[in-house]
Amino acid sequence: MINTSDPAWRAVSGRARTVLLAAPRSFCAGVERAIEIVERLLEEHGGPIYVRKQIVHNRHVVEDLETRGAVFVEELTEVPPGATVVFSAHGVSPAVRAEATARSLDTVDATCPLVTKVHAEARRFARRGDTVVLIGHAGHEEVDGTLGEAPDRTVLVETPADVAALPDLAQVSYLTQTTLAVDETAEVVAALLRRFPHARGPGSDDICYATTNRQRALSAIAADADLVLVVGSTNSSNSKRLVELASRTGVPAYLIDDAADLRPSWLSDVDTVALTAGASAPPPLVDEVVEVLRALGPVSVQERELARETIRFTLPGRVR
């Protein structure tokens, strides 16, 4: 909790505030599934259970699993031969799977089913002879995995300018990273279709339902707020997109890992706070932010639910 006797916090105390809670927020089905896979393996076998990369992009989730015996590694060379290793929710390339087999690793796949869908589309489009234009952020683990499905037939673009720089292509299809900003991605797709009118997209949106829902829910409240707070880690793509979305409305917006990241200067002259969390952020972190605001003065919490998420993904047979 904050130190309310600190002069900086005392200066913003005593004010009544309204907190607008976006809904949906926090964990999505793919994140819940990935975390549960690691938890069940730890319960059944104890540690260490190795995880390639972060299971989901959230510091609190990773640190909690580490205390229970999970070991997070960057590369499979850090995993002892024959050990159990979990592939993160972001997916991996066929080359990584082949390396795991070569090292006789016991693999458990926690890839989000919606990312698996994009991988399958990449393979299908490449098989029919298309150049696959992948819209996404360079260096993101999900993008690396998708690029690896058909590396000789896939090109990555991030902006309309990247589309303009593409060479002439005869047969084009496109896919997107699942955690992009909906409005910005639409601009890139529009640029792509202007350049290649016959380009074919996926049968259904690649940007996942959870990313879309969280962006729409925040859009519905951001304009009514003096400040937007997004709970999530700095390496979380969908969390960063929420901050960017709010900033485009002209409202000050900040990404915070937890309540400890709050700064008193942000709350000066603020009556209404819009609060949400990225899909990989644990729900209790949102509650902690509300409690810190309550410590500063009376708080009225209003939850505005834009959609209700009922999707659940089946666990792999290995841990069911």
Half-sphere exposure of residue 186: CA atoms within 13 angstroms, side-chain side: 4
Residue 142 is a catalytic residue: yes
- Is 45 labelled a binding residue? no
Terminus-to-terminus CA distance in the chain, angstroms?
39
- Is 236 labelled a binding residue? yes
- Is 58 labelled a binding residue? no
- Is 213 labelled a binding residue? no
**Separation of alpha carbons 146 and 263, rounded Å:** 38
| Residue from 29, 10, 16 nearest 211 by CA | 29
- Is 280 labelled a binding residue? yes
- Is 208 labelled a binding residue? yes
Please state the length of the chain. 320
Q: Are 201 and 151 in contact (CB under 8 A)?
A: no
Q: Select which of 36, 66, 121, 142 is catalytic.
A: 142
- Is 119 labelled a binding residue? no
Q: List C-alpha distances in Å: 122 to 70, 83, 151, 247.
A: 31, 30, 10, 33
- Is 238 labelled a binding residue? yes
Half-sphere exposure of residue 19: CA atoms within 13 angstroms, side-chain side: 22
Q: What residues act catalytically?
A: 142
Q: Which residues are annotated binding-site positions?
A: 28, 57, 90, 112, 140, 178, 208, 236-238, 280
Q: Which residues are annotated binding-site positions for dimethylallyl diphosphate?
A: 57, 90, 140, 236-238, 280
Q: Which residues are annotated binding-site positions for [4Fe-4S] cluster?
A: 28, 112, 208
